[in-house]
Amino acid sequence: MLLETKGLTKRFGGLVAVKDFDIQVAEGEIVGLIGPNGAGKSTVFNLITGVFPVTSGRVLFDGRDITGKQPEQVARLGIGRTFQLNPLFHEFTVLENVTSSFELHPHSSLFDIFFNTRKYRRNEAFIAERAHEILHVVGLERVADELAKNLPHGHQKMLGVARALATRPRLLLLDEPLSGMNPSEIDTSLEAIRSMRDHGITILIVEHNMQILRLCDRVVVISFGQKICEGSPAEVRANEEVISAYFGADYVC
């Protein structure tokens, strides 16, 4: 398993946002994490990436216990992510958003950077080149020099994905990448997500838009912080508990 959580629990004061949550993601999979508003999906992401300390439970990445690591350490280990809100460096240009996210590969030491050594210049040239490639893939090449805050919402979302891709993650956590996008942007994004998987990136995705089910190999459903069901997209669609979690018990009867 590339990612595995065991008994993940998070308490905010009296509120148990995530309770005894287990999820497994195998290398090369696209796994969907769905559930109603406030179910605890974003909290799961924040626990995996170390933004919040866990109350109890463990997170394993590639067999290694990463519980309690700082977010930047988690990023270094190969977990990239996007954020549901505030996905960007707003005062940077689109291009700078991507290049500044190239922290991990290749790495220049402080000495190299400050003294502008040949290695640093080579790394920076490589980064500039790769950043343009990534912008090309997500279709933002034309607005590379715009300030990120001036982009329309859908483009900002795509840029968030581009930024995460720049870290060259093995596992990518996407938090509602399709929200606020128009239909054509949604198509583009679905296509982009599929092509990331084809490039060997494993993906765990939170989404309310059910079109995402087309992409997923497996889906995990969470409600009130607990896993209520797991299976193929077709199985999950047919599951009564899922339907009632989404629409209330009355709807089923």
Answer yes or no: are the C-beta atoms of 187 and 96 closer than 8 Å.
no
> Which ranges in 67-212 belong to alpha helices (H)?
71-77, 94-99, 110-114, 118-137, 153-166, 183-198
Burial of 37 (0-12, 13-18, 19+ CB in 10 A): exposed
Task: Please choose which of Mg ion, another protein, ligand ATP, none residue 195 contacts, taking the beta carbon within 5 to 8 angstroms, the exact cut-off set by kind.
Answer: another protein
Does 9 engage in binding with ligand ATP (CB under 6 A)?
A: no
Does 37 engage in binding with ligand ATP (CB under 6 A)?
A: yes
Residues near another protein (CB under 8 A) are 49, 51, 70-72, 75-76, 80-81, 83, 86-92, 96, 99-101, 103-104, 108, 110, 113-114, 116, 120, 124, 128-129, 132-133, 136-139, 141-142, 158, 163-164, 166-167, 184-185, 187-188, 191-192, 195, 198-199
Structure tokens at 235: 């199985």
| Shortest reach from residue 54's CB to Mg ion, in Å | 17
| Shortest reach from residue 97's CB to Mg ion, in Å | 22
Does 86 engage in binding with ligand ATP (CB under 6 A)?
A: no
Does 84 engage in binding with ligand ATP (CB under 6 A)?
A: yes
Does 41 engage in binding with ligand ATP (CB under 6 A)?
A: yes
What is the C-alpha separation between 193 and 84, in angstroms, rounded?
16
What is the C-alpha separation between 18 and 111, in angstroms, rounded?
43
| Shortest reach from residue 47's CB to another protein, in Å | 14
DSSP annotation of 213 reads G
Q: Exactly one of 8, 39, 201, 242 binds ligand ATP (CB under 6 A); which one?
A: 39
Does 53 engage in binding with ligand ATP (CB under 6 A)?
A: no
Chain-centroid distance of CA 191 in Å reads: 16
Q: Which is nearer to ligand ATP, 11 or 194 (CB)?
A: 11
Report which of 110, 93, 109 is spatially closest to residue 101, judged by C-alpha positions: 93
Structure tokens at 115: 């003294």
Q: Which is nearer to another protein, 104 or 243 (CB)?
A: 104
| Shortest reach from residue 29's CB to ligand ATP, in Å | 21
The residue type found at 139 is: G
Structure tokens at 167: 């870290």
Task: Please choose which of another protein, Mg ion, ligand ATP, none residue 38 contacts, taking the beta carbon within 5 to 8 angstroms, the exact cut-off set by kind.
Answer: ligand ATP
Answer yes or no: are the C-beta atoms of 76 and 104 closer than 8 Å.
yes
Residues near Mg ion (CB under 5 A) are 42, 84
- From first CA to last CA, the distance across the chain in angstroms is 39
Interacting residues with ligand ATP (CB under 6 A): 12, 15, 17, 35, 37-43, 84
